[in-house]
Amino acid sequence: MTARRSCPPAPGPLEDYAQQFDALFSSLAQRRGLRDYLQGLLLPRDRNKTLTGLAGAEPISGAQHRQVQRLQWFLSESAWDHEVVNQRRVRLLREDPATAPHDGGVLVLDDTGDPKDGTATAHVARQYLGSVGKIDNGIVAVTSLWADERCYWPVHAVPYTPASRLAGGERDPRFKTKPRLAVELVQAAQQAGIRFRAVVADCFYGDNPGFTDALAAADIRFVLALKPRKGTWAPADQAHTPVEAASELGWRSPNRPGQWRRIQRRFRDGHSETWWAADAQLGGWGPDRRLRLVVASTDPERLPGHSSWYLLTNLPRPASHRAQPADLADIVRLYGLRNWVEQGYKQVKGELGWADFQVRSDRAIRRHWALVCCAFSFCWQAFLAEQPPAPQSQAAATAAGGAQATGHRGGTGRAAVVASGAAPGAGLVDPMEHAATLLAVMVTSAAAPAAATAA
């Protein structure tokens, strides 16, 4: 058997990471393409990370440069399987003690959209794009992300194809709604061996009965947001919306809270916030029903929209009322971890070029996303390799008797960027002078470790 030809190494620790994928690529050109693509994604953002940007060529006149053409072939035509690459990436994260998923974490489901011109690119159509907050021409991906208080990383991402792109519209057998795609991502995470305490998602998924029924039928625990004024049937003299149910919990003052219980949420930057939470009764949802409605707010009297949550969950309430505060704190903690998906979007889009692709085929788009996820995961591996291990894992803290609610506030600024400080070199193929610049700190606003007991 002919020995494999050696590949020009990537800078520093990136080479060690890339070598773990080499067995998935059959040719030297593919292995070199992997290194060049990841290296380009990790460079500081001074322009869009199109193929010319990744190669360090001129935006238009450099499109025919041989390195740009190599990356174009690698992304669009070369014979390699992006799903197998993603499986290897997830397996590496799962086997690393620093990033291994455990029963105290969550699987966050969400969708994200980005503007794209024209209609020639696969999956692009006029649809709602969360990044711009309106209906516009663009592409949408449904994603899953694993998270706990210390780290978070993408698991899977699939493009959503609007009915307008299919010949049969919504009746086309290929059409899948976003909630249906999200259910498939949960199944894919389970098949990949991803452990989690619950699935969490925003009100787009929480307000979808088909989605909640599918999770319940599969015996999957969830904590899903509801719209404050989502209506449900109830007798005329009872509450009909979550916000009405919250107003019936007997709040008068912090000293006379009624059914509300105090929860202390702590954040990585050292500040803490006092929240209040309670089990509410609404239609068929209640503390001792199959589905519970948990309300959490910083101000139970006014229920401000920006800091009030209405959560639907099938996590059971402990039998002892003395344990209820810890249980409510756990529900709030789990949903608070959903914010990491927004943090992740800022990083993969703001620094790693998630939406910068200029390819048209479905396969090339999926490959680009898979490689962006590889670059993101490499940053975590490099960052956590230099961090001391936590004295107690979140899973252990939760098992010890209920964790104090934690979360994160806001996102990172431009100071917390991927590969910050990299300096361009003279070469086109290898534009980084110092491998150490790849070791960027992506998580300066990560949540603080949970306390061993609830407040």
pLDDT digits (tens, 9 = 90+) for 301-320: 999 999 999 999 999 888 75
Q: What is the pLDDT of residue 283?
A: 85
Question: Would you state the pLDDT for residue 47?
Answer: 86
Q: What pLDDT sits at residue 445?
A: 35
Q: What is the pLDDT of residue 324?
A: 61
> What is the reported pLDDT for 347?
92
The pLDDT of residue 37 is 96
pLDDT at residue number 392: 42
pLDDT of 317: 84
In this prediction, residue 322 carries a pLDDT of: 53
pLDDT of residue 420: 37
Residues of the chain with pLDDT under 50: 391-455
Per-residue H/E/C for the chain: CCCCCCCCCCCCHHHHHHHCCHHHCCCHHHHHHHHHHHHHHHCCCCCCCCHHHHHCCCCCHHHHCHHHHHHHHHHHCCCCCHHHHHHHHHHHHHHCCCCCCCCCCEEEEEEEEEECCCCCCCCCEEEEECCCCEEEEEEEEEEEEEECCCCEEEEEEEEECCHHHCCCHHHCCCCCCHHHHHHHHHHHHHHCCCCCCEEEECHHHHCCHHHHHHHHHCCCCEEEECCCCCCCCCCCCCCCCHHHHHHCCCCCECCECCCCEEEEEEECCCCEEEEEEEEECECCECCCCCCEEEEEECCCCCCCHHHEEEEEECCCCCCCHHHHHHHHHHHHHHHHCCHHHHHHHHHHHHCCCCCCCCCCCHHHHHHHHHHHHHHHHHHHHHHHHCCCCCCCCHHHHHHCCCCCCEECCCCCCCCCCCCCCCCECCCCCCCECCHHHHCCCCCCCCCCCCCCCCC
pTM score, whole prediction: 0.85
